[in-house]
Structure 1
Amino acid sequence: MTAAVGVPVRRGQAPSPGFAHLARLSDDTGLLEHARHAVARREHGYCTDDVARGLVVVSREPDPAPAVLRLAEVYLTFLTHAQDADGAFHNRLSYDRRWTDEAGLGDWWGRALWGLGTAAARGPAPWIQQEALHAFTLGAARRSPAPHAMTFAGLGAAEVLRRHPDHAGAAALLADAAEAVGWPDSDPLWSWPRRRLTYASAALAEVVILAGQARQDVALRAAGLRMLTWLRDLQLAEGRLSVLPAAGWQHGTPRQRYDQQPIEVAALADACATAAAATGDATWHDGVRQSIGWFLGENDTGAVMWDRATGGGYDGLTPDGPNLNQGAESTLALIATLQHARGPAGR
């Protein structure tokens, strides 16, 4: 893990999302998880978590180039290979194409359904949409005991419902995802369902908002918006984002400042965009702009959090600046956040 010291601030207009580094980390099997600086580390292999997130971002592209379409094909094929006959998924594949784990229902199951649901709704080719919907439907019959896994699966279910509003499996999964998250505490100083914040927290609020929208449940939608408002305000410092670190935060304990992860920023951008669409309140676009700004240097150290030469996202923000490694998760978080710059938040 390498940190940069004294990285200059270079703020500016948000760049268009680029896929060069994602292509660099990908091959005909899938998406390699880790990198040393910009060079993929084959010895760490592939994981369903990252491939699924890859399918989300490439499916969001409105007019994908042939190279991006090829990535969608590779990622979809990986996920269908990872899925077993009962709808669970393997997570870790070694570089020699051997699964090193048993199929299960952890976060990777949820993220696989998020990727498949997004491809089913927005995939760049009809056959991708059809195959993704088939695999999603099989996986959506399962349930995970983990709230985060259910959250990611619920995001995929919401995508499916946008294109297939009568999909009973997606509707049931989205409702169960919101139930798994739970209702926020009535304490205005800790408006969250649990006494600890961990990772990708904004996604939990987002899935509650989406479930409230789908069910036309005003109270449920309001609960999700309350969670997201509290979480966003908690992570603002003098108008810039200061996201919770990888260690999370336990209620009643001192809050650490670093190591901030790009996944938190991307989750907040997605959730704020969803809140803006759900409410028509344009002030939610500020959260998206602040998320974009975090990558451009509007953060606690003033460090630009992506490599302009490679297009890769840096792996984390340390007290000395960015961790210069450019793995899959951070690069996908960068792309996902920059995709929002094409929408109302970018105008």
Structure 2
Amino acid sequence: MTLTGGRPATRAGSPPPDRRLSAPAPSFAHLARLSDDTGLFEHARHAVVRREHGYCTDDVARGLLVTSREPEPTGAVLRLAECYLAFLTHAQDARGAFHNRLGHDRRWADRPGLGDWWGRALWGLGTAAARSPAAWIREEALVAFSAGAVRRSPAPHAMTFAGLGAAEVLRRHPTHAAAAALLADAAATVGTPSAEPGWPWPQPRLTYASAALAEVVIAASQLRHDGPLLDSGLRMLAWLRDVQLRDGRLSVVPAAGWGRGEARLRHDQQPIEVAAFADACATAGTITGDPVWDVGVRQAVGWFLGDNDVGTPMWDPATGGGYDGLTPHGPNLNQGAESTLALISTLQHARRWS
């Protein structure tokens, strides 16, 4: 996420890399640099944490997600997961809603709500409940997930993120009734593809993390007998893939979004879009067995390694941090939590072919 006030730091691009480059292993070094014993700081100037901007549930939840995805986490990664889980359980109120913003003074700056942060909290908790190698983390995460899963948000993205957490829980606990109901409601909130050939997306505009909407429909088709048709989610994802390819490389919809009938802008591209696309392609590939979706994962990994519109890497190997956005002149060199988490999440999927 780009900090407001001030121009982003950029670096000139370089020639597009060889698309056969192998992916590095995910590094948690910068994530640890951005974390303390309370949670995960949201912003950084270059690689230096900006404590004055505090923490947010949005990012801490994504931190729990990526640390829980590690099949053999180190002790340091497991301690990060513990910290993030404790933050989320502290952020949750008795009715299952969540605070989002905590200042460096450890005071909440908002009231509990059901925005995107609620959905991402359930996604992180659901992933921890399903995948963490630590039994006590799985148990505590499931308790917190179950408390939040009975709530509903009017926001489609919030419901989408929560639905992805429900899908994680159902893969491990197929009879979890609250997760099943939440996943069904999330897919219904997204809707079905439009019949319009040139714009089959259910909404008139692409905004952010768009591939997640297709992914939750795909997941619901697998995990709910009365869920949407698999073809609906795959059609959404295939169209999104096609409109985001430029000369064979990934060129995601920028932060300004893109609406039906509008001119398509190229910048500023955000790492969250790439990570969402990698997630959705990995899910589609797992469910269908079609290797075409592995190509999508490779394109997402390639975007971070430099196979993008500017031909420049979108991460810093020296720190392990992800750059905050792709401008016409190169990367925004700030390495905040959202972009670093997007980098880690995407590189985790590279294990599919390692």
TM range (shorter): over 0.9
2:217 touches 2:228 (CA, 8 Å); kept in 1?
no
| Equivalent residue number for residue 97 of structure 1 | 106
| Equivalent residue number for residue 127 of structure 1 | 136
Alignment partners' CA distance in 2, 1:217 and 1:187: 25
Alignment partners' CA distance in 2, 1:166 and 1:2: 48
Equivalent position to 1:329, from 332, 338, 341? 338
2:220 touches 2:228 (CA, 8 Å); kept in 1?
no
Q: What SS does the corresponding residue of 1:322 show, helix, strand or coil?
A: strand
Alignment partners' CA distance in 2, 1:216 and 1:268: 25
Q: What SS does the corresponding residue of 1:212 show, helix, strand or coil?
A: helix
| Equivalent residue number for residue 295 of structure 2 | 286
1:303 touches 1:321 (CA, 8 Å); kept in 2?
yes
Alignment partners' CA distance in 2, 1:25 and 1:279: 37
| Equivalent residue number for residue 254 of structure 2 | 245
Alignment partners' CA distance in 2, 1:281 and 1:171: 26
Residue 188 of structure 2 corresponds to residue 179 of structure 1: yes
Q: Displacement of 1:7 after TM fit?
A: 3.5
Q: Displacement of 1:8 after TM fit?
A: 3.1
1:6 partner letter = A
Alignment partners' CA distance in 1, 2:287 and 2:199: 23
| Equivalent residue number for residue 88 of structure 2 | 79
TM normalised by structure 2 equals: 0.96
Alignment partners' CA distance in 1, 2:318 and 2:160: 34
2:56 touches 2:102 (CA, 8 Å); kept in 1?
yes
Residue 348 of structure 2 corresponds to residue 342 of structure 1: no
Equivalent position to 2:33, from 21, 24, 29? 24
2:14 touches 2:310 (CA, 8 Å); kept in 1?
no
| Equivalent residue number for residue 8 of structure 2 | 2
Q: Displacement of 1:242 after TM fit?
A: 0.4
Point out where structure 2 has 5 or more consecutive residues left out of the alignment.
1-6
Mapping for residues 13-92 of structure 1, pairs under 5 Å: 13-92=22-101
Q: Displacement of 1:87 after TM fit?
A: 0.1
1:97 partner letter = R
| Equivalent residue number for residue 149 of structure 1 | 158
| Equivalent residue number for residue 300 of structure 1 | 309
Aligned residues: 345
1:30 partner letter = G
Residue 277 of structure 2 corresponds to residue 254 of structure 1: no
Q: Displacement of 1:216 after TM fit?
A: 3.6
Q: What SS does the corresponding residue of 2:322 show, helix, strand or coil?
A: coil
Q: Displacement of 1:221 after TM fit?
A: 1.4
| Equivalent residue number for residue 230 of structure 1 | 239
Alignment partners' CA distance in 2, 1:3 and 1:307: 14
Deviations 1:286-321 (A, max 9, x none): 000000000000000001000011000000000000
Q: What SS does the corresponding residue of 1:226 show, helix, strand or coil?
A: helix
2:184 touches 2:227 (CA, 8 Å); kept in 1?
no
Residue 227 of structure 2 corresponds to residue 221 of structure 1: no
Q: Displacement of 1:219 after TM fit?
A: 5.2
Identity rate of aligned residues, in percent? 74
Alignment partners' CA distance in 2, 1:255 and 1:2: 22
Alignment partners' CA distance in 1, 2:157 and 2:109: 23
Q: CA RMSD in A?
A: 1.1
**The 10-residue stretch of structure 1 (121-130 or 83-92) with the greater mean CA deviation from structure 2:** 121-130
Alignment partners' CA distance in 2, 1:161 and 1:114: 12
1:196 touches 1:250 (CA, 8 Å); kept in 2?
yes
Q: Displacement of 1:217 after TM fit?
A: 5.2
Residue 168 of structure 2 corresponds to residue 159 of structure 1: yes
Alignment partners' CA distance in 2, 1:294 and 1:247: 19
Alignment partners' CA distance in 2, 1:219 and 1:250: 25
Q: Displacement of 1:13 after TM fit?
A: 2.0
| Equivalent residue number for residue 3 of structure 2 | none
Residue 266 of structure 2 corresponds to residue 270 of structure 1: no
Alignment partners' CA distance in 1, 2:119 and 2:227: 26
TM normalised by structure 1 equals: 0.98
| Equivalent residue number for residue 318 of structure 2 | 309
Alignment CA distance shift 1:272-1:217 (3 Å):
farther
Alignment partners' CA distance in 1, 2:226 and 2:289: 17
Task: Flag as ranges the 4+ runs of structure 1 deviating above 6 A.
Answer: none
Q: Displacement of 1:131 after TM fit?
A: 0.3
1:3 touches 1:320 (CA, 8 Å); kept in 2?
no
Q: Displacement of 1:259 after TM fit?
A: 0.3
Alignment partners' CA distance in 2, 1:235 and 1:127: 41
